Amino acid sequence: MSARSLFDCFLFDPLRCWLGQLPERPDCEALRALAEHYPVHADNGRRIRFVPPQDDGRIYECRIHESGEVETRPDNWHDFFNALVWLSFPLTKNALSAAHVGAMQAAGEQRGKVRDALTHFDECGMVVLSTNPELLDLLRQFRWQELFVERRAAVRRDMRWVVFGHATYEALLSPFRGLTAKAVLYDADGEWLAMDTERLRAEVDGRLAADIRMARWTRARDLQPVPLLGIPGLTPASECPAFYDDTWQFRSGRRC
C-alpha cells in the first residue's frame, strides 16, 4: 500500500493540504520549498527553516527558539511529519518551543515533569472536540463500551478528532494494536464541528497555543489517553462490538 493511500485516513486531514503537494516519501528539499512558499515564523520573527542535523552542540529546542531552525533528518518520516505540523499548527509549535526553553533546568539537573508533558503532547498529542459533554466524560472515565459501542452514533455525529503529534502521524502509517494518543479535551459548539478542515485547524491552533502559554498541563498524566483504533471509522474491526472487549487495548483507567 502506498503512502498516498494511507493518507486517506481521516486523521490525516489536518495535513492534507500539504500532503497533496509532496512526494510519497520524506523529501527534505520538497519540505524546504514548501516552507519557502508558505512561510511560518518563530516568536522572534525569524522564519522557520528545516535544516539538516547540526553538530554544534546547541540544544534542539533552543535552536528553534533562537534562530527558527528545525533540525530535520533526511528520508525520515518522523521529522517529515514534524515539519508538516509546524506548517499546520505554527502557533502551537511556537508555544511548545517557548515553554520548553522556559522550563529548562540548570545544567546537570533532571529534565523535569513539565518538559516531559510538553514532549508527550508534541509527539503524541491530539485534540478531541465534542458538543456533548457526556461523551467527553465517558472518554475521561475510560468507559469504552459505553462510548464507542452504545453511543457510537453520537460519537460519529458529535465528536471530532484532530491529531497534532508528529509521532502519532508516523505511527498511523502502520497502525498497531494499542496505538494511543494523549489528548486535550474541549467542549465545542456546533459551529466548531461544522467548520471545514482548514478553519478548524486554525481555531485549534490558536486555542492550543493559548493553553500551552498558560501552562494548562504540567504533567503527562494531565493528558487523556485515547486508544486510536477505537475511534469509529479507523479500522473495520471496530464495527464489531467484541472488538472493545480487548482490555489490554481498552484499559479500565488510572487508579489515581
pLDDT per position as a tens digit, 34-86: 999 999 999 889 999 999 999 888 888 889 988 999 999 999 999 999 999 99
Residue 243 has pLDDT above 50, yes or no: yes
Kindly report which listed range (94-98, 123-127, 156-160, 214-218) carries the lowest average pLDDT score. Answer: 214-218
102 — pLDDT class (breaks 50, 70, 90): confident
Task: Count, in order, helices (H) and strands (E) of the chain.
Answer: 13, 6
Query: End of a domain among 33, 65, 88?
Result: 88
Share of the chain above pLDDT 90, in %: 78
Separation of alpha carbons 66 and 193, rounded Å: 36
182-208: pLDDT as tens digits = 999 999 999 999 999 999 999 999 999
Q: Is the Cα dihedral 124, 130, 133, 137 positive or negative?
A: negative
**160, 230: one domain:** yes
Domain that holds residue 128: 119-245
Give yes or no: residues 136 and 230 share one domain. yes
Distance CA 102, CA 90 (A): 18
Location of C-alpha cell 554544534: 56
Helix, strand, or coil (residue 55): coil
The reply to whether 176 falls in a domain is yes
The domain total for the chain is 2
Residue 256's pLDDT is 43
- 88, 108, 130 — which closes off a domain? 88
Alpha carbons 184 and 224: distance in angstroms, whole number? 6
| 125 and 61 belong to one structural domain | no
**SS3 state of residue 32:** helix
Is residue 256 a part of any domain in this protein? no
DSSP label at residue 252:
-
Ramachandran category for residue 34: left, alpha or beta (phi over 0 → left; psi -120 to 50 → alpha): alpha
Please check whether residue 161 is in contact with residue 238, taking contact to mean a CB–CB distance below 8 angstroms.
Answer: no
pLDDT of residue 109: 46
Q: Do 124 and 178 share a domain, yes or no?
A: yes
Q: Are 175 and 235 in contact (CB under 8 A)?
A: yes
Say yes or no: 19 and 66 in one domain. Answer: yes
The CA distance from 252 to 141, in Å, is 8
* Residue 93 in domain: no
What rounded mean pLDDT belongs to the chain?
A: 92
72/183 same-domain check: no
C-alpha cell read off for 138: 465517558
pLDDT at 110 over 60: no
pLDDT at 255: 47
State the helix-helix crossing angle for 90-103 and 60-67, rounded to 10 degrees. Answer: 120
pLDDT at 58: 83
What average pLDDT does range 98-113 have in this prediction? 71
Contacts of 5 (CB under 8 A, 6+ apart): none
Judge if 225 and 146 occupy the same domain.
yes
Selection from 108, 218, 113, 26 nearest residue 18 by Cα: 26
Distance CA 131, CA 189 (A): 5
